[in-house]
């Protein structure tokens, strides 16, 4: 990277940290740090929602899908459009229209209202773990972007640099800084892709005729997709709009119900078709560039050995001129940070309010609580960075995190909002069975092996996982949600909550 591009990128990073420090000085308590003062407008919230949901992880992941699947990879974010609009109609009126949540900070507080504190605690643990994993995926996305862009920068060093910046900024600024900078960052990314990334890359690979000649025709159609993948994306992504802690924080941050609905409709449109097609197009262009030998100088002469998720960074590094390269890198890193900071804030909120708050009463508006929250955010961020160093695929890490939360939390929240006979026992059972089923089917059947007793006893023990063949090639999350639904209904009917049961009898 030319020193001019590097200078532009460094200026962006320094400015971002400065912005975080500004809000560090402005934040007075939990109201500012976790829910942005509860007075945000629909434009800021809408752009923040889409920046959080799509962000850099899906941006890099979409590039990988465009590289391997072509235009059909855009269907992944169509599920985002469906999920956003369904939440606007079915979820927001139930949450923002309920005065019981006027002072709420987290998603599990909805469970606490409809069920009890134990249900909220378990939901908080599941959400905290899931969002810590999702934070890791964003840090990994930033590292892959930097690794594919900067010469002589290995992935581990990139992880440390990107992770440190993301964690420090989030610790300092809180949700209000996150939402305001999301608006700026998303605008930078959109303008960068529309006016720089796509036209320059399209011209560099030789235009449409060269694209047609270089790739399989199936990659240029929307039908290059299996029904199993459609079910996988739908079952994994649509429900997250009903259980995402980052989204509940933004619902609480909106000034009223109408503002929240408008924000969600706007976010859905930005997900699909806007970001969906721009992301896969750049991935497709990277595929063409790789087949033309444009990445040979980077040691990627064999296209079959090229990591699809590094194709996009290598393309930008190769085709963008001095000056524009620094701008585009800033744009992509801003998108990555938009999701990383939000997920880190979500996990921190769950730990502080739902887990620690279960055991000890918390004054959300005290300066002491604010400092404690910042320390907690830093610790979780450091853990997410360590997790990122052990994963290779951005998209897989994101979807694993999604699946873990969705399979445990989706059925209970729908039941809480729409089924009067739902019970606390049913909710807890559904969370545990749903999440456990998905994890078990994802990892496979564990097999313990032992080479024999020795002085290094623990070194002789190994755990292997045998892959489980699922019917019709469906994703484990489908079976996790199904198991969660069956258990939720059964246990709720067998073990109803006393208050609800008495009210139903009176009716």
Which residues does 398 contact at the CB level (< 8 Å), separation at least 6?
A: 57, 58, 61, 134, 137
Residue 323 main-chain phi, psi, to 5 deg = 95, -55
Residue 466 main-chain phi, psi, to 5 deg = -95, 125
Taking residues 50-64, report their average pLDDT: 74
Under 8 Å between Cβ of 124 and 355: yes
Residue 499 confidence (pLDDT): 61
Residue 225 main-chain phi, psi, to 5 deg = -155, 145
Residue 16 has pLDDT above 80, yes or no: no
pLDDT class of 272 with cuts at 50, 70, 90: very high
Q: At what angle do helices 42-53 and 257-269 cross, to 10 degrees?
A: 40
Q: Which of 58-72, 229-243, 379-393, 455-469 has the lowest mean pLDDT?
A: 455-469
Highest mean pLDDT among 156-165, 353-362, 411-420: 411-420
pLDDT digits (tens, 9 = 90+) for 316-366: 888 888 777 777 677 667 767 777 888 898 999 999 999 999 998 888 777
**pLDDT cut 70: percent of the chain above it:** 87
Quick one: which of 45, 94, 61, 38 has its CA closest to 413? Answer: 94
Quick one: which of 79, 121, 125 has its CA closest to 435? Answer: 125
Taking the alpha carbons at both ends of the chain, their separation in whole angstroms is 71
3-state SS, one letter per residue, for 7-60? HHHHHHHHHHHHHHHHHHHHCCCHHHHHHHHHCECHHHHHHHHHHHHCHHHHHH
Residue 445 confidence (pLDDT): 64
Taking residues 32-48, report their average pLDDT: 88
Q: Which of 55-59, 316-320, 372-376 has the lowest mean pLDDT?
A: 55-59
Residue 380 has pLDDT above 50, yes or no: yes
Domains in the chain (CATH in brackets) are 3-394 (1.20.1730.10), 419-507 (no CATH)
Residue 117 has pLDDT above 90, yes or no: yes
Taking residues 134-144, report their average pLDDT: 78
Residue 398 confidence (pLDDT): 60
Residue 239 confidence (pLDDT): 92
pTM for this prediction: 0.85
pLDDT class of 504 with cuts at 50, 70, 90: very low
Highest mean pLDDT among 309-318, 369-378, 426-435: 426-435
């Amino acid at each position: 990277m030319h020193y001019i591009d590097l200078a532009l990128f460094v200026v962006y990073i320094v400015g971002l940290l400065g912005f975080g420090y500004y809000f560090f000085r402005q934040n007075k308590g939990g109201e500012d740090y976790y829910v942005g003062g509860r007075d945000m407008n629909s434009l800021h919230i809408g752009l923040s929602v889409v920046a959080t949901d799509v962000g850099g992880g899906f941006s890099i992941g979409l590039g990988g899908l465009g590289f391997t699947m072509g235009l059909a990879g855009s269907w992944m974010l169509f599920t985002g459009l469906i999920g956003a609009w369904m939440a606007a109609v079915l979820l927001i009126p139930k949450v923002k229209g309920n005065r019981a949540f006027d002072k709420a900070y987290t998603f599990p507080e909805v469970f606490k209202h409809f069920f009890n504190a134990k249900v909220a605690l378990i939901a908080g643990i599941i959400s905290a773990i899931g969002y810590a994993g999702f934070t890791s995926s964003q840090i990994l996305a930033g590292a892959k972007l930097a690794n594919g862009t900067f010469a002589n920068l290995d992935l581990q060093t990139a992880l440390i640099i990107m992770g440190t910046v993301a964690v420090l900024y989030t610790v300092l600024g809180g949700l209000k800084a996150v939402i305001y900078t999301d608006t700026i960052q998303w605008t930078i990314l959109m303008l960068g892709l529309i006016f720089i990334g796509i036209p320059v890359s399209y011209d560099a690979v030789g235009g449409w005729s060269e694209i047609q000649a270089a790739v399989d025709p199936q990659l240029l159609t929307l039908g290059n997709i299996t029904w199993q993948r459609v079910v996988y994306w739908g079952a994994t992504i649509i429900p997250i709009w009903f259980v995402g802690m980052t989204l509940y924080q933004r619902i609480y941050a909106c000034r009223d119900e109408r503002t929240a609905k408008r924000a969600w409709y706007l976010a859905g449109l930005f997900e699909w078709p806007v970001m969906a097609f721009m992301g896969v197009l750049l991935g497709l262009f990277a595929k063409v560039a790789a087949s033309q030998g444009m990445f040979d100088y980077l040691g990627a002469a064999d296209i079959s050995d090229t990591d699809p998720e590094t194709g996009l960074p290598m393309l930008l590094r190769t085709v963008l001129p001095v000056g524009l390269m620094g701008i585009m890198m800033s744009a992509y890193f801003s998108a990555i940070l938009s999701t990383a900071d939000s997920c880190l804030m979500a996990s921190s909120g769950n730990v502080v309010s739902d887990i620690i708050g279960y055991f000890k009463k918390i004054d959300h508006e005290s300066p002491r609580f604010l400092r404690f929250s910042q320390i907690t955010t830093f610790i979780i961020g450091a853990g997410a960075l360590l997790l990122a160093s052990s994963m290779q695929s951005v998209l897989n890490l994101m979807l694993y995190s999604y699946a873990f939360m969705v399979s445990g939390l989706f059925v209970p929240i729908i039941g809480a909002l729409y089924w009067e006979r739902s019970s606390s026992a049913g909710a807890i059972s559904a969370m545990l069975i749903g999440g456990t089923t998905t994890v078990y089917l994802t990892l496979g059947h564990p097999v313990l092996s032992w080479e024999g007793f020795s002085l290094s006893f623990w070194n002789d023990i190994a755990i292997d996982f045998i892959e489980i063949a699922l019917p019709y090639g469906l994703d484990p999350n489908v079976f996790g949600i199904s198991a969660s639904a069956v258990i939720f209904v059964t246990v709720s009917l067998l073990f109803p909550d006393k208050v609800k049961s008495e009210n139903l009898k009176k009716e």
